[in-house]
Amino acid sequence: MSADLAAARAEIAQACRVAASRGLVDGILGHISARVDDDHLLIRCRSDSDRGVAFTRPDDIRLIRFDGTPGAAGELDGYRPPNELPIHVETLRAHPEHHAVAHLHPPAVVAVDLAGITIEPIYGAYDIPGAWLARRGVPVYPRAVLIHTAALGKEMVAAMAGKPVVICRGHGITSAAATVAQAVLQAISLDQLASMALRIRSAGGTCTPIDESDWAHLPDLGPSFTTDAAWRHEVARLEAG
């Protein structure tokens, strides 16, 4: 096994644990992947000894082909790809700019959509990346199905409409990005938006987008702050346990 693949397995496993620590997944549901090349990806797979996403190990991240077959000898010995592999494959096929996909089940996001609440930029400097994510729009795939076929995967990608995140109604979310860290951080931001919207509604308030004039003062702070530092915090938070 190459050092690059070993490092990528460790990175995806860590991202799975971060997602679980943030409450974006529970039990054995949810998976994260990373593109290796045009025909291979690394993805969290399941085994008979699987203890859940919160306990993901690098060994749980397996190299497979886009068609679900082993990417190398022994890769699926004792392991099986997730049933919703088409979520990852069809997203990566449709968007070469994306190298990572996170399919997660954040309860607040599922609840806010089922309550008929649209994700909007209801705050600004509280979470600038999240505010911009909301401003650009978070689409909804309206079917509460297990996305276990290529046809359903393509439907979800079409609903995604070129945006980095889509809500799967009555199901969860799919977040795609250039890196594993970005995919999970987007999911965290979406979960925070949903949680805040539910808190506002439960307090009897109305979810109102911020003033248009505020956007000029909500700049992109750059990857060293928005991704690198944020991810260091998530990893430290996980390790502090």
Q: How confident is the model at residue 241 (pLDDT cuts 50, 70, 90)?
A: confident
Pairing outcome for strands 165-168 and 140-141: parallel
Render pLDDT for 183-217 as a digit per residue (tens, 0 to 9).
999 999 999 999 999 999 999 999 999 999 999 99
Average pLDDT over residues 155-166: 98
Render pLDDT for 63-115 as a digit per residue (tens, 0 to 9).
999 999 999 999 999 999 999 999 999 999 999 999 999 999 999 999 999 99
Question: What's the pLDDT score for residue 161?
Answer: 97
Q: What is the pTM of this model?
A: 0.96
Domain regions of the chain by residue span: 1-228
Residue 223 has pLDDT above 70, yes or no: no
Pairing outcome for strands 165-168 and 172-177: antiparallel
Distances (CA, A) of 109 to 25, 100, 178: 12, 20, 22
8 A C-beta contact, residue 218 and residue 172: no
Render pLDDT for 22-64 as a digit per residue (tens, 0 to 9).
999 999 999 999 999 999 999 999 999 999 999 999 999 999 9
Question: What's the pLDDT score for residue 179?
Answer: 97
Give catalytic residues, as residue numbers.
84
CATH topology for 1-228 is: L-fuculose-1-phosphate Aldolase (3.40.225)
8 A C-beta contact, residue 47 and residue 26: no
